[in-house]
Amino acid sequence: MDQISRPTDRSASPTSRIDEAAQRIASAARVEDAPEAGVAVLREAGLLHLAAEETADGYRYELPWRLALRLLARIGGADLSLGRLLEGHLNALQLVALYADAAQKQRVLAAVRAGTLLGVWGADTEPRFAVSGAGELRLTGAKRYASGLGLVGLALVPYEDEARVSHLLLVPVDDPARQDAGAWHMSGMRASRSGTYRFEDLRVDETAARVGRPGDYRREPFFVGGIWRCAAAQLGAVERLVEILVAELTASDRLQHPLQSARVGQAIMAARDARLNVEAAAEAVETGSLDAELAVSLAALSRLRVETAGLEVMQLVERGLGLSSFHADHPAERVMRDLAVYLRQANPDALLLDQARRLSRRLPDLFR
């Protein structure tokens, strides 16, 4: 029996199951070509419903931030595409727990216990996603950059009405005929199975599909604030690169060279600084220890700090390991390729400018 197909002991602690799942995924050969195997590991380890604690009205989202960070970082370090899919799954679980009614929460709990992967598909394209009707809703248009095509069974799909108010629908997205993976021609994050999903003339029951009230989707600190989860998955890849750098330099007896030791020290500092930022953001968002505005700012900063750390560590790995790190079979090659693509999400310049203005008014709270 190969490493990735070996069953996981579900009686083990969540931490042990996370670590074992990450080890199995990292040791698998070319999971990039078969992300189903990695998702199966998450399913078998019970990690898809780890955050869902059953209640009388369905479930509540119950995942301590330290455990959530470990889950995202360890899986992201093993396979960043799977980390991205897991981040979307946790995002959907949390949003349903926050805003859905009892029937919807019971439906989602049953689905994730049965192994269904969830997603949040928000990026619009042409034709733009739109909703019409009442009672029975008619969906039209499409969503792009939809991660998990063929893997995600239920997705939360946000949209705005004519008044620019956000709404949220829970929609089955397992129809292969509506999936188009051909639009994703990126060098990295191939196993994320990203692409376009067409909703043209799809009809859904409004009571079952409509989640929460108008405007709920953009409520903070769980909208922009949730970006800390993306940062956590990326952090795992950064830390994995540091581990690969140290392991290869040690094995080749080059770690003692002063320049190589300096590179390792710089890489450790960058990764550790990024981790501290992600930890602060996760605690603020998930525990409510700070007001929503400041928590959102810390989440945005963590995303930016992980980006700079990732770029620095990738350069250090390339210089420290040389040409061999670009070989297709080298353990760092895919990690760097995936990380380079995943870091290029959203608009970091606009994010920095916005948060600089906000935080300049909150320095006493930030530096206390």
pLDDT tens track of the chain, all 368 residues? Answer: 455 555 556 678 999 999 999 999 998 756 666 789 999 999 999 999 999 999 999 999 999 999 999 999 999 999 999 999 999 999 999 999 999 999 999 999 999 999 999 999 999 998 899 999 999 999 999 999 999 999 999 999 999 999 999 999 999 999 999 999 887 889 999 999 999 999 999 999 999 999 999 999 999 999 999 999 999 999 999 999 999 999 999 999 999 999 999 999 999 999 999 999 999 999 999 999 999 999 999 999 999 999 999 999 999 999 999 999 999 999 999 999 999 999 997 788 888 999 999 999 999 988 87
Instruction: Give CA–CA dist 182/203, Å, rounded.
Output: 25
pLDDT for the residue numbered 348:
85
Q: For the CA atoms of 92, 47, 56, 292, what is the dihedral angle to 10 degrees?
A: -40
- Looking at the chain, which residues constitute the CATH 1.10.540.10 domain(s)? 12-117
Neighbours of 357 (CB within 10 A): 9
pLDDT for the residue numbered 347:
82
DSSP summary character for residue 147:
T
Instruction: Give CA–CA dist 268/262, Å, rounded.
Output: 10
- Looking at the chain, which residues constitute the CATH 1.20.140.10 domain(s)? 224-366
pLDDT for the residue numbered 1:
42
Instruction: Give CA–CA dist 167/102, Å, rounded.
Output: 18
User: Which residues, including other chains, have CB under 8 Å from residue 278's CB and lie 6 or more apart?
Assistant: 69, 228, 231, 232, 235, 302, 305, 306
pLDDT for the residue numbered 6:
58
CATH architecture of 12-117: Orthogonal Bundle (1.10)
Instruction: Give CA–CA dist 54/112, Å, rounded.
Output: 12
- Looking at the chain, which residues constitute the CATH 2.40.110.10 domain(s)? 120-214
Q: How far is CA 274 from the centre of its chain?
A: 16
The answer to whether 228 touches 278, Cβ cutoff 8 Å, is yes
The answer to whether 314 touches 241, Cβ cutoff 8 Å, is yes
Residue whose entry in the numeric block shows the structure tokens 């989602």? 108
Superfamily of domain covering 120-214 = Butyryl-CoA Dehydrogenase, subunit A, domain 2 (2.40.110.10)
Instruction: Give CA–CA dist 261/263, Å, rounded.
Output: 5
Pick from 193, 162, 163: nearest CA to 179: 193
Superfamily of domain covering 224-366 = Butyryl-CoA Dehydrogenase, subunit A, domain 3 (1.20.140.10)
